[in-house]
Structure 1
Amino acid sequence: MPYRRLPNTDSSRLRALHILYSKGKELPPFKLGFSQNVYTRIQSFLPGFENAISQFRQAYAIQVKRGREYQNLMKKARMYISHFIQVVNMAISRGELPAQTRAYYGLEEHSSRLPSLVSEKDILKWGEAIIKGEQQRIMKGMAPVTNPTVAVVKVRFENFKEACQNQKVLQKNSERALEELSRMRKQADEIISQAWNEVEESFAGLPDEVRRSRASEYGVVYVYRKNELPGLSVFDRIQVSAG
């Protein structure tokens, strides 16, 4: 026997609800395969559910779009911080700066190894350290590092820092929208399940093939297992092909 399958995507949930809503509009209550109570619930629920889906998709799309911008700014900030440290190391190796210069930036005094700049946390940490350390050096009258200067590094760093903050806000917006949508998905599943139960019950006295045919007009979906495919009726084969 085929089994009934409830919608498991937002699109299929909307499709099921719209079919039920259309049936409720076009048929008088005494001919409708489900109760007016369920129809009223669908009427009041459907607009909010559509809005929740739209809100989540919009929030997620903005997050993805800004995420690409964030990644680009992260790459730029990482590159400028890395280049600044490399310039300092090269100046030290040429004898133009003392090894103690590294201490201003929180680097190991006698190591030219670059710090990890993989994560957002790394870049924020070393960006702050480089800017603060170079400003201290300049205030003491020491020659500034150039190509890049700390001013250029700061611009790239501040752009990235702002993008970090914006991205966190966008992530929270998406999370809130998803939380609301998840709550409404449960309601949608409950409403659809109740409506389909009532539809099947209203056609319970009919032969199986006819009952499934009538229920499918209300959007009820039946799925056949592979071992059930041979010997299906014409109607059932059409249902399988359509699925």
Structure 2
Amino acid sequence: MPYRRLPNTDQARLRALKSALDQGRLKYPYDLAYPQQLYHDIQSVFPQFEQAVSQYNFSKERQAKYGKLLSDQFKESRIYVSHFIQVLNFGIIRKEIKPEVREDFGLDIDDKAVPELGTEQQLMHWGKKVIQGEEARMMKGGTRIYNPSIAMVRVKYEKFIEYYNNHKNLQNTTQKMHDKVIEMRNVVDNLILKVWNGIEETYSDLPGDDKRSACSDYGVIYMYRKDEKPMEQ
């Protein structure tokens, strides 16, 4: 025996509302299989929910695309910060730069390794340290480091920070949109339940197949269980 299954995705919810709404537009109020008041409720709720879902999906897609751009900026900035620290260490090894300058960069004097830059937070921390450290070193009369220059490091780092902040803003916007959709789902689910109950009650005197066929015209969904579907076929 097929069973009724309420929508469990936003697109399915929209289809259910639209099917009931379309029937409400086509039929006279006295021919409608569910209460007229619910038709007015659908007229009010459907466009709001449709817009909320659309805005959420758009924001989510935009966030995903921007996340890819952020990933590219992260990798590029990490290379420049890492290479600058390596060149600094090479200068110290060649005795062109004193080991003490490492302290200006937040590094131990004897630390010849490049700090971990595997996360966005680590890159933000050490990118800032490198820029500030090089400014401090230059103010003490140090010779410039090239390939990469600190100017290029700053450009790449600031670009990464810009994309990081924009992506965070998009994440916050997407979360707000998602919260709004979740809030509306309860209203929509209750409305669909009332509408479908009303439709089934109207056609309750019809034989099983005829009843399901009539209800399906309004968007009511019936599913076969796995062990029943082959038998029906």
Scaled to the shorter chain, the TM-score interval is over 0.9
Provide TM-score, normalisation by structure 2: 0.96
User: What residue ranges of structure 1 are gaps of 5+ in the alignment?
Assistant: 238-243
Matched residues in 2 for 1:130 and 1:145: separation?
Answer: 12
Deviation at residue 200 of structure 1 after TM alignment = 0.5
Matched residues in 1 for 2:39 and 2:154: separation?
Answer: 60
User: What residue ranges of structure 2 are gaps of 5+ in the alignment?
Assistant: none
> Who is 2:187 aligned against?
187
Matched residues in 2 for 1:39 and 1:27: separation?
Answer: 11
> Who is 2:6 aligned against?
6
The answer as to whether partners of 1:196 and 1:220 remain within 8 angstroms in 2 is yes
The answer as to whether partners of 1:137 and 1:144 remain within 8 angstroms in 2 is no
Deviation at residue 82 of structure 1 after TM alignment = 0.1
Deviation at residue 91 of structure 1 after TM alignment = 1.4
> Who is 1:241 aligned against?
none
Q: How many residues align?
A: 233
After TM superposition, list the pairs within 5 Å mapping 1:143-158 onto structure 2: 143-158=143-158
What is the one-letter code of the residue matched to 2:218?
Y
Deviation at residue 192 of structure 1 after TM alignment = 0.9
Larger relative CO (CA 8 A, sep 6+): 1 or 2?
2
> Who is 1:228 aligned against?
228
Q: Which runs of 4+ in 1 moved over 3 A?
A: none
After TM superposition, list the pairs within 5 Å mapping 1:27-46 onto structure 2: 27-46=27-46
What is the RMSD computed on CA atoms of the aligned residues?
1.2
Matched residues in 2 for 1:198 and 1:127: separation?
Answer: 63
Q: Deviations over 1:77-108 (max 9, x none)?
A: 11100000010111112222222221111112
Query: Among the aligned pairs, what percent are the same residue?
Result: 40
Q: 1:198 to 1:83 in 2, by over 3 A?
A: same
Matched residues in 2 for 1:197 and 1:51: separation?
Answer: 26
SS of residue paired to 1:141: coil
SS of residue paired to 2:86: helix
> Who is 1:160 aligned against?
160
Matched residues in 1 for 2:30 and 2:152: separation?
Answer: 75
Matched residues in 2 for 1:70 and 1:13: separation?
Answer: 34
Matched residues in 2 for 1:134 and 1:41: separation?
Answer: 65
Q: 1:230 to 1:110 in 2, by over 3 A?
A: closer
